[in-house]
C-alpha cells in the first residue's frame, strides 16, 4: 500500500503554498499537487492592497481587513514588497468625493496605529501619521517647479517627480500620496518554492494535474480521499482545494453546489522613458466597467510599466464574468477566454489591447503616448465566492468533513485563510495543536535574497516576460 498523507493540497497558487508552508512549519506531512511547472503561476498580483485604496466602493470593514492581511503577508515575504507609494486621484468627470477618500484614509491611519500597538513589527508602512499626505493645487504648482529627483525618499520628492507628468487640471483636489506598496508575485513565488523544496514535510509535485477526487470517507480504508492523477493516486486524510478559479471542478466531483463567480482580467506591460527619476504608482479613479473605469500605472524596474484600465477594452472582457449554476459548480468561460487561458494571446491581440491601455493612460499623462508594448500581458482568472462582484475579501469554507475550499479574492488573504484551514484541521484531529500566534515562518526566513533573485529571474524568462519584472524598483537587502 502506498503512503497516506495527512493533508493533500490541490493547487499551488498563493493560497495552496501558504497552507503548505504553515503545515511544514508545524511538521505535518503533506502533498502539494500543482499542474504547472512552478508554483504561484496563476493570475498575477502586483499591489499589496493595504487598506483597499483602489476600491472606493468597498466597505470600511473590508479596507481594515485588507490592511491587516496585507501587513501580515508583507512581513512573511519582504523580498516581494516594493516600497514605493501610490498616488490616488479622482478625475473631475467622476462622482467620487475626495473628502470621502480622505475620511477613509483617516480611519485607516487610526487602524494602522492600533495594529502597531498590538505588535510593533506591523509598522512596515512607516509612521502612521505619514501613511498619507494630501496635496492641494498650490502645493502641486510649487512642487512642479522643483527639479526631479533620481531616487525620491520623502512624499514631496515622489510628488515632485509625478506631478511633472500628470495633467492635474483634469483632477479633483486634493490628490493623495499613500503608502500603498507594490507586490512582486514572481518573487513571492520564488521564495515560496525555494522554501518548500527545503522541507521534507512537503512533497511538492509540479506538472501534476489532479483529474478526479474520490470520497472514501465511509470505506474504512484508513484515509479519506483519493486524489487521482494520470500516473498515480494520492491517499490523504484531509483535502485542501485551492485551485483558484477551478475549485468548482472538485466541488462537482463531490456533488457540492456553490454560489460563485469567476472573472478573467488582464494587465498590460509597456515600456516608457519618462523623467530621470522614480515615480509612484498612479491611480485615476473611475467607475468600473464604464468607459471611465479606473486607470492605473504601476512602475517596474528599467522603464517597464504595467497598465490596468477597468474598461471592457482593456482589463475587463465581454463575458469575462461567469456564474456557477445549480449542479454545475464550475463556471465555464467562452472559447476565446479559454484559449487565452490555455494557450496565451496572439500578437495582434497583445498589440491592440496594450495600445488601447497606453492611449487610456495618456489621457492623464500626455507624454505616456510615447510608450510601447513591453511584453505579453499579465492575465488570469480569479474566483469570487457568492454573487457580489465588488467583494475583495474572500475566505474559506468547509462544506463537508475533512474538506477545505479556499476562496480568496485577493492574494493578501492567503495567510489568514491558511491559518483558518489549519484551525479546522485541529478541530478535525488531523493536527494536535498550533502555537497561539502563527504568523511567522522560519522556512521562508531561511531563503536568501540572492536565491530569490535567481529563481524569480528564471521564472520570468520561462513565462516569456522581460527580465526586469523579476526585480523590485527599490531593491531591498
Ligand atoms: C489581472 C489580475 C490582477 C490581480 N491583481 C492583484 C493584486 O494586485 N493584488 C492581489 O492581492 N490580488 C490580485 N489579483 C488576484 C490574485 O491573483 C488572486 O487572488 C490569487 O492569485 C488567487 O490565488 P489562489 O491560490 O487562490 O489561486 P490561483 O493563483 O489561481 O492558484 C490555483 C492553482 O491551482 C492550480 N490548479 C488548478 N486546477 C488544478 C488541478 N486540477 N490539478 C493541479 N493543480 C491545479 C493552478 O495551476 C494554479 O496554480 C489579481 C487577479 C488578476 C486576474
291-315 pLDDT per residue, tens: 999 999 999 999 999 999 999 999 9
Ligand 1 centroid vs 48 CA: distance in angstroms?
15
Q: What is the pLDDT of residue 437?
A: 67
Which residues does the chain have with pLDDT short of 70? 1, 391-394, 437
CA–CA separation, 326 and 52 (whole Å): 32
Q: Which atom of ligand 1 is nearest to the CA of 411?
A: 11
Tell me the whole-structure pTM to 2 decimals: 0.96
pLDDT given for residue 356 in this prediction: 98
pLDDT of residue 1: 55
What's the CA gap between 22 and 422, in Å, rounded? 8
Distance 246 CA to ligand 1 centre (A): 10
229 CA to centre of ligand 1 in angstroms:
21
Cα atoms in the 13 Å half-sphere on the side-chain side of 464: 10
Ligand 1, atom 26: closest residue by C-alpha: 244
* Closest atom, ligand 1, to C-alpha of 46: 8
Is the CB of residue 182 less than 8 Å from the CB of residue 281? yes
Q: Work out which ligand 1 atom sits closest to the CA atom of 394.
A: 19
DSSP H/E element including 358: helix 347-362
Residue 382, classified by CB atoms within 10 Å of its CB into exposed (0-12), middle (13-18) or buried (19+), is buried
Ligand 1 neighbours (beta carbon < 6 A): 10-16, 33-36, 41-47, 49, 209-210, 242-246, 265-267, 379-380, 382, 406, 408-412
Q: Spell out the residues 6+ positions from residue 39 whose beta carbon is closer than 8 angstroms to its own.
A: 12, 13, 16, 17, 32, 189, 192, 193, 196, 204, 206
Distance (angstroms) between ligand 1 centre and the Cα of 125 equals: 25
CA of residue 396 to ligand 1 center, whole Å: 14
Residue nearest (by alpha carbon) to ligand 1 atom 35: 11
For residue 395, the cross-strand partners are 407
The span from the CA of 392 to the CA of 418, in Å, is 17
- Our CA angle for 30, 32, 37, nearest 5°, is 155
Amino acid at each position: 500500500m502506498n503512503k497516506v498523507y495527512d493533508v493533500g493540497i490541490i493547487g499551488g497558487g498563493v493560497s495552496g503554498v501558504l497552507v503548505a508552508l504553515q503545515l511544514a512549519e508545524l511538521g505535518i506531512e503533506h502533498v502539494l499537487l500543482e499542474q504547472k511547472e512552478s508554483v504561484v503561476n496563476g493570475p498575477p498580483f502586483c499591489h499589496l492592497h493595504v487598506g483597499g485604496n483602489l476600491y472606493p466602493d468597498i466597505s470600511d470593514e473590508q479596507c481594515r481587513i485588507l490592511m491587516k492581511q496585507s501587513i501580515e503577508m508583507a512581513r512573511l515575504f519582504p523580498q516581494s514588497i516594493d516600497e514605493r507609494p501610490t498616488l490616488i486621484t479622482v478625475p473631475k468627470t467622476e462622482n467620487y468625493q475626495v473628502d470621502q477618500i480622505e475620511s477613509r484614509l483617516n480611519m485607516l491611519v487610526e487602524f494602522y496605529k492600533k495594529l502597531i500597538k498590538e505588535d510593533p513589527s506591523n509598522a512596515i508602512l512607516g509612521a502612521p501619521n505619514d501613511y498619507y499626505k494630501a496635496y492641494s493645487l498650490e502645493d502641486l504648482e510649487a512642487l512642479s517647479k522643483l527639479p526631479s529627483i533620481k531616487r525620491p525618499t520623502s512624499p514631496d520628492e515622489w510628488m515632485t517627480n509625478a506631478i511633472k507628468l500628470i495633467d492635474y487640471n483634469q483632477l479633483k483636489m486634493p490628490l493623495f500620496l499613500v503608502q500603498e506598496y507594490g507586490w512582486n508575485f514572481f518573487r513571492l513565488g520564488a521564495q515560496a518554492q525555494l522554501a518548500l523544496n527545503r522541507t521534507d514535510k512537503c512533497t511538492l509535485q509540479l506538472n501534476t494535474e489532479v483529474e478526479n477526487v474520490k470520497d472514501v470517507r465511509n470505506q474504512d480504508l484508513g484515509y479519506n480521499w483519493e486524489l487521482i492523477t494520470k500516473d498515480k493516486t494520492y491517499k490523504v486524510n484531509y483535502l485542501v482545494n485551492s485551485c483558484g478559479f477551478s475549485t468548482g471542478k472538485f466541488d462537482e466531483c463531490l456533488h457540492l453546489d456553490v454560489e460563485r463567480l469567476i472573472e478573467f482580467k488582464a494587465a498590460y506591460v509597456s515600456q516608457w522613458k519618462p523623467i530621470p527619476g522614480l515615480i509612484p504608482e498612479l491611480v485615476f479613479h473611475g467607475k468600473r466597467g464604464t468607459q471611465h473605469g479606473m486607470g492605473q500605472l504601476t512602475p517596474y524596474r528599467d522603464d517597464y510599466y504595467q497598465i490596468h484600465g477597468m474598461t471592457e477594452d482593456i482589463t475587463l472582457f465581454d463575458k469575462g464574468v461567469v456564474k456557477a449554476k445549480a449542479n454545475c459548480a464550475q463556471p465555464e468561460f467562452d472559447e476565446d477566454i479559454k484559449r487565452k487561458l490555455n494557450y496565451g494571446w496572439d500578437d495582434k491581440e497583445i498589440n491592440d489591447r496594450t495600445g488601447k491601455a497606453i492611449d487610456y493612460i495618456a489621457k492623464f499623462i500626455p507624454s505616456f503616448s510615447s510608450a510601447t508594448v513591453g511584453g505579453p500581458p499579465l492575465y488570469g482568472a480569479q474566483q469570487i465566492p457568492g454573487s457580489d462582484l465588488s467583494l475583495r475579501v474572500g475566505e474559506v469554507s468547509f462544506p463537508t468533513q475533512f474538506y477545505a475550499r479556499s476562496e480568496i479574492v485577493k492574494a493578501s488573504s492567503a495567510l489568514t485563510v491558511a491559518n483558518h484551514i489549519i484551525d479546522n484541521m485541529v478541530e478535525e484531529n488531523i493536527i494536535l495543536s498550533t502555537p497561539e500566534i502563527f504568523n511567522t515562518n522560519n522556512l521562508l526566513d531561511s531563503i536568501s535574497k540572492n536565491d530569490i533573485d535567481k529563481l524569480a529571474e528564471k521564472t520570468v524568462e520561462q513565462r516569456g516576460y522581460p527580465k526586469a519584472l523579476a526585480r523590485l524598483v527599490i531593491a531591498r537587502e
